[in-house]
Structure 1
Amino acid sequence: MAAALADPRQDKDIKVKVQVAGENVIVDVILSVPATRQEVWVVLTDFEHMADFVSNLKESKVVSISGDTLKIFQRGSATYGPISFPFESTREIRLIPFDKIWSHMISGNMRKMEGTTQLIDEGGQTQIIYHTDTIQEYWIPPIVGKTFIEHEIREQFYEMRNEIVRRKRASASSKPTRSSARGI
């Protein structure tokens, strides 16, 4: 079902760049979504239901809320071919509605995770710019590791984009048309 809602270009338009610099793994993602920043925001900040539409998540929940800052817990497993890595993290998320999401790992099975997600209006579409800098707890094989991370990140953003489009279509189909609102 989710694949049927996807953009016909599949995920090839999701630009993912993975750099391994010493211990640091730096990931940059750019993609456009045919939705408003508000429609994109609702999905990217739906931490309570994220495990329903991001396949590598087994659990995602908000632990606490303080103003514009959330503490979230996520647990899952990243898999690519025969390689699989379980993960879990508790992160502090700071929200600047419809513009930016900052993320800082408090605990989990990485030594460091800092990230930002920015939303930019492109006139009828929203560009998502994602950047994260992590230090993994385990060694990452240079070539296979980069391919694995790129695959996982691309899949996550593909699934989130599909959810944004699905919700937008569901919202549009549930709104009454002018003629039906007047009883015509």
Structure 2
Amino acid sequence: MRKTSFLLLMWSVLFMTAALADPRQDKDIDVKVHIAGESVIVDVTFAVPATRQEVWVVLTDFEHMADFVSNLKESKVVSTSGNTLKIFQRGTATYGPISFPFESTREIRLIPFEKIRSHMISGNMRMMDGTTQLIDEGGQTRIIYHTDTIQERWIPPIIGKVFIEHEIRKQFHEMRNEIIKRKRASASSTPTRSSARGI
């Protein structure tokens, strides 16, 4: 019992030290994590200076997602049926002194440019359901993300909250960077009206 308490204390100190040393560049990405036993609820909201179509292309690019989301080692589409996909992803979430390997096969239902619904079929969690909404705010798109998961193991609330908040915020920060990167690349490669006419 004393050993377990001591380990929890040490993990807490290490996590809090890492958190204080992390000068976040993405504070506008609002992440709320609620942990109750094995249940974890995550809500995220933030804006991207891009259209819903530009955001959609990145959020649904499952074949290349491991190229721009650093905690993913593999991401691929297993099957497609209309607007329903089956995808497989695996990776490792890392923060401070701890790492957490994960993998899942999920059913993804797409409502183009508006909503993405996700349901885990198999993986190292007992349950995971999520929804991502895209809202046009005129000149930018607001992303609203919600997920409910039931973990295989109990997660210490304070330590787990810091860990999950960090990983979720980093993941969406990387996705936003990719959206902006592609938007700029598209703009620079599109000829102006005068150059298109040869003037």
TM over 0.5: yes
Q: CA deviation at 1:182?
A: 1.8
Residue in structure 2 matched with residue 4 of structure 1 by the alignment = none
Larger Rg: 2
Partner of 2:115: 100
How far apart in 1 are the matches of 2:37 and 2:58? 33
Contact 2:28 2:46 in 1 (8 A): yes
Task: Give the distance between the partners of 1:140 and 1:150, measured in 2 at CA.
Answer: 13
- Offset at 1:136? 1.0
**Does the CA contact (< 8 Å) of 2:38 and 2:153 recur in 1?**
no
Partner deviation per Cα, 1:95-123 (whole Å, 9 max, x = no partner): 00000000000000000000000000000
Number of the residue aligned with 1:163 = 178
After TM superposition, the structure 1 = structure 2 runs for residues 8-87 of structure 1, keeping only pairs within 5 Å, are 10-87=25-102
TM-score with structure 1 setting the length: 0.94
Partner of residue 119, structure 1: 134
SS in 2 for 1:114: strand
Partner of 2:146: 131
Measured after TM superposition, the shift of residue 84 of structure 1 is 0.4
- Which structure shows the bigger proportion of residues in helix conformation? 2
Give the CA RMSD over aligned residues. 0.9
**Hey, which bits of structure 1, 4+ residues long, moved more than 2 A?**
none
Q: CA deviation at 1:139?
A: 2.2
The equivalent residue for 2:6 is none
Gap runs ≥5 in structure 1: 1-8
Distance 2:175 2:155 in 1: 26
Q: Percent identity?
A: 87
Q: Deviations over 1:129-159 (max 9, x none)?
A: 0000001112211111100000000000000
User: What per-residue deviation string (whole Å, max 9, x for no partner) do you get for residues 154-179 of structure 1?
Assistant: 00000000000000000000000122
Gaps of 5+ in 2: 1-23
Deviations, residues 59-115 of structure 1 (Å, cap 9, x unaligned)? 000000011100000000000011100000000000000000000000000000000
Give the whole-Å Cα distance in 2 for the aligned partners of 1:10 and 1:81: 17
Number of equivalent positions: 176
Question: Counterpart in 1 of 2:155?
Answer: 140
